[in-house]
Chains A and B, each alone.
Chain A
């Protein structure tokens, strides 16, 4: 298990659970549901914030916020 902020560019993962109650409410209404696939699209020039692809659109969030999202990294097949 790792967290969303540790993904490398282009890597995909599946959302498992959340560590922060308030942020989880916000993230879920933005389409970050447990079981949903996310992909790290790109990062900002200073490495933070990051942009992810989820539920068919692009979402940006800070690394600290991404670190509250527990994911399992998908292995390439």
Chain B
């Protein structure tokens, strides 16, 4: 008979920039997963490893500076450590050996929770390089727990740490201010009770807890100063010349901004142009697969569902991978090197007035390519309100899916009138549309700054970490994690909606389709019936066609007819679908080439009056509509994934579509 392996659950706790996540990667390798904590938007990273005969579950808690949380991330870390939810058997406290004083604040707090702990003295290599000597056994004696020097970047000391974890002990030393606790919080029997009190009274009158926190931290630091004096020998002047020199450049009035623009330019090139190649390979690959599957399966409903519903839907999800992977590749490097904090630092004043954050800039510029990776990249914004505003306004910026729609409409409006002096009309209007998108996003941000309420207090007190070489493993792990999260979390919502849209366009009430096909066959004897015309008739008869006609009264004031109505419904999948649907409706064939479609639209006349349908008023109205409307299920699914609440995608849908409707109404009324 074999006994199941003994199992323990451990948590990594430490300041941001303590190298916690690198240690997590070193401990678990590829055995890690991303889940979520109940009720909050914070991702939960956990993994497993085996040591001797013990199976160990590791949770990488969000970085925190103390056990009195100042942000939602910190609150999650504290609650998890108090075993609210899953039980934590052992805490590994991760500290930066070259910055021990500040990191010991959290360390002594965790020790006071009276749980088994081990101190991982991380970045011991950097401390060595700066000529900082730490007397480990002395530190162990003063803290009352095992202290293991490690270098998580180079995977040194990991095994010693694993060995220490299975025999971790509770320290006998108490660090908190006992006198103050008796005076201010007489009902609390232990330090754990004080932390629980702080977590439960958040937002109420917390004076007693706050007063305790203040007195306790000052008390703690005087103890820490004693510990540092006993255990750490450091040179008078710590040599940080590399970071200082780099900072002079990266935060320079001119070079700092130029360098940031260069970074933006490179990121933009990759996700806008380079990503095109793998994206078209994916699309071609899926087209091949769809044709192949359609050929080997028996004809019928199931074939259509698998090929045009499921496979087409999956293709529409997988196609996002290149942009997500490339954007996160750059973001991981920028974060890992420490540059992101500087970018945030130099842009803070500029972005603050819009209710945004220095870290909102990269997501916003990236959304010129696509809002999906951009919304995912707002994770780097620590402040909840700034992050929500960035997520909500980012889809207003004109993305690459709008480009085919813009091109078609501008082509109709300015056919024959190619240029104004040296500028082409096309170029001018297109640029205007991009500016319109940015302006709308910034104005919406200002509005949201006053509308959004949060109990989290806003501040910009942020560590500027020393520059480090980016680590390939960290970068790759982040890219994999983001791609996985998108595929499986947002992906299933996108797939569900694409199957619904497929059903709406490929099914009709009663036997409408077979009547159309019969008629076509009957006509075939007279003249060759165009395949495209047949598709057009079918689309008109389908549920989507019926819906398009049903909404005509609502969109009439914008200058749209039912044909545009159908395209509005189908292009909820993605904006560029508008062009394909219009091509089907106008029987020009579902091709990439919009030339024939443009001519067809230009010659389209109203049935009763004989006037052209696509007047410049209609085109302007449509342009503005597509600039603002939330016509993208993938963005909504991603917003849901990133905010963990249906409220936010609903807000996006209502406010963007409302804005689009009103703007189009205004434009059409003024111009016609």
Contact = CB atoms under 8 A, between A and B. Distances in A.
Interface of A: 21-31, 33-34, 41-42, 44-49, 51, 55-62, 65
Tell me if B's interface is mostly helix, strand, loop or mixed: helix
Contact of B101 (A26, A55, A58): A55
Contact of A25 (B210, B243, B253): B210
A46 B218 contact: no
Interface residues of B, number: 39
B354 interface: no
B105 A29 contact: yes
Q: Which of A24, A48, A62 has the most CB of B within 10 A?
A: A62
Contacts of A57: 99, 102, 463-466
Contacts of A49: 345, 348-349, 460
A26 to B, nearest CB: 5
Interface in B297-341: 341
Interface of B: 65-66, 68, 70, 99, 101-102, 105, 210, 213-214, 217-218, 221, 238, 243-244, 247-248, 251-253, 256-257, 341, 345-346, 348-350, 457, 459-466
A31 B217 CA distance: 10
Contacts of B251: 42, 44-45, 51
Contacts of B70: 25-26, 29
Contact of A24 (B105, B214, B247): B214
Tell me if A's interface is mostly helix, strand, loop or mixed: mixed
A28 B222 CA distance: 12
B217 A29 contact: yes
Given A21-B210, A25-B210, A58 B464 contact: yes
Contact of A44 (B221, B248, B349): B349
Nearest to A24: B214
A50 B350 CA distance: 14
Contact of B348 (A25, A42, A56, A62): A62
Contacts of A34: 218
A22 B456 CA distance: 11
Closest 9 CB pairs of A and B: A58-B464, A46-B349, A31-B102, A29-B66, A45-B253, A61-B461, A29-B65, A62-B460, A28-B217
Given A24-B214, A25-B68, A46-B350, A30 B461 contact: yes
A44 B102 contact: no
Q: Which of B65, B221, B257, B346 has the most CB of A within 10 A?
A: B221
Contact of B462 (A23, A25, A48, A59): A59
Nearest to A48: B349
